[in-house]
Homo-oligomer: A and B are copies of this chain.
Amino acid sequence: MIAENMKPLVKNNSVIRQMFEEGDRLRAIYGADKVFDFSLGNPNVPAPAEVKEAFLDILENEDPIKVHGYMSNAGFPEVRHAIAESLNKRFKTDFGMHNILMTVGAGSALNVAFRILLNPGDEVLTFAPYFVEYGNYVSNYGGKLSVVPANTENFQPDLEAFKKMVSPKTKMVVINTPHNPTGVIYTEETIRKLTDILYDKQMEFGTEIFLLSDEPYRELVYDDVEVPYVTRYYANTLVAYSFSKTLSLPGERIGYLLIPDEAVDSSEMIAAAGIAIRVSGSVNAPSLIQLVVGRCLDLKADISYYKRNRDTLYGALKEYGFSCTEPQGAFYLWVKTPTEDDKAFVAAAKSHNILVVPGSSFACPGYVRLAYCVSYETIKGSLPGFKELAREYFGE
């Protein structure tokens, strides 16, 4: 009885569900502290103390009718204003509150962006490996996602291949930096080259091509690597942002879509985005959490926690002989599997109670993703298992 286009989703979902259930099964048998679950990007670092203080202060001192009430579909004006000011200060931009539309997390921001721009049959390009939901989001609006193969040398995008794939049907290009699943940050050189290609192709085809920058990990950066602010390089840029990882609030579903004035037809896009938020059924982003993040814009979760996890896990895996990319941001370690069959490696890891996600789930087989946003005890506890795995694959 369910809709035809839901049937493949239900069928494929069972694969992911099996992974969750497998984790529960293992925890039930061996105990939670003997299972090393690197499968989920659910931060294990609590939100900064100021987040709780903001919640309590708003609940105690603000008018509940405002705090829990409807506002404009695009969000509370003062929150949008504060976000624009914060971006302007940090990235030398010139946004106003009208450029910021509050959304139910970055997932909703991406959906709004696709909805307001895609006509059925329009092509969206992204780079492998990529977050698999992009495909679902694009097909929500009849678009077609095409994937530029991975540059496995350093996981910066393969711009030569990209250049050949941009066509007159290309309406949007999605990038994600800092990157899930590789932890790579796109360099300024990458952004310059990529946007130069887009400007050239717009000219060549007489089309407008929109760059959608998915940035939930913008604030999670190690060793002061810089993350270029993409609107400064290309006019037709939209930014999808989330506070999920920055403030360890993934369940609260709060983020925004940024549409700069420089983008073509920006006023029409901004009007359409407000309506898209409304008619999606979400009506507006949740109200109290909007006010909370509006007070916490210069904060972020304890990055030193993730850095210690990164250094310990990356250091150990390198030492054991694994080939992996050192993460510059986010909280994922991307490891080349010692066999081409990444699913076989996932199964081998599971026999050591280590749960990881195969690269084939990110359109890049031959790798696995480890989400190291876990407790330090999980990191330490997993190391003997990884050492055993190394022995199995590489010998003594």
Contact = CB atoms under 8 A, between A and B. Distances in A.
Contact of A2 (B59, B116, B137): B116
A174 B396 CA distance: 67
A337 to B, nearest CB: 26
Interface of A is mostly: helix
Residue from A45, A52, A137, A252 having most chain B Cβ neighbours under 10 A? A252
Interface stretch (A5-13, A144-152, A224-232): A5-13
A68 B253 contact: no
Residue from A43, A110, A111, A288 having most chain B Cβ neighbours under 10 A? A288
A327 interface: no
A118 interface: yes
Interface string A257-277: 000000011001101101110
B115 A3 contact: yes
B55 A59 contact: yes
A289 interface: yes
Looking at chain A, what size class is its interface with the partner chain?
35 or more
Given A116-B2, A116-B6, A110 B13 contact: no
A339 interface: no
A117 interface: yes
A1 B116 CA distance: 9
B59 A42 contact: no
Interface in A111-151: 111-112, 115-119, 133, 136-137, 140-141
A251 interface: yes
A3 B105 contact: no
A296 to B, nearest CB: 12
Nearest to A69: B251
A52 B65 contact: no
A117 B137 CA distance: 18
Contacts of A285: 253
Contact of A281 (B65, B105, B248, B278): B105
A115 B248 contact: no
A64 interface: yes
Residue from A1, A47, A117, A265 having most chain B Cβ neighbours under 10 A? A1
A139 to B, nearest CB: 9
B42 A69 contact: yes
A178 interface: no
A44 B268 CA distance: 33
Interface string A1-41: 11111100110010000000000000000000000000010
A283 B105 contact: yes
Interface of A: 1-6, 9-10, 13, 40, 42-47, 52, 55-56, 59, 64-65, 67-71, 103-105, 107-112, 115-119, 133, 136-137, 140-141, 208, 248-254, 264-265, 268-269, 271-272, 274-276, 278-289
Instruction: Identify the 7 closest CB pairs spanning chains A and B, nearest first.
Output: A251-B287, A107-B281, A111-B281, A108-B281, A136-B279, A1-B265, A286-B286
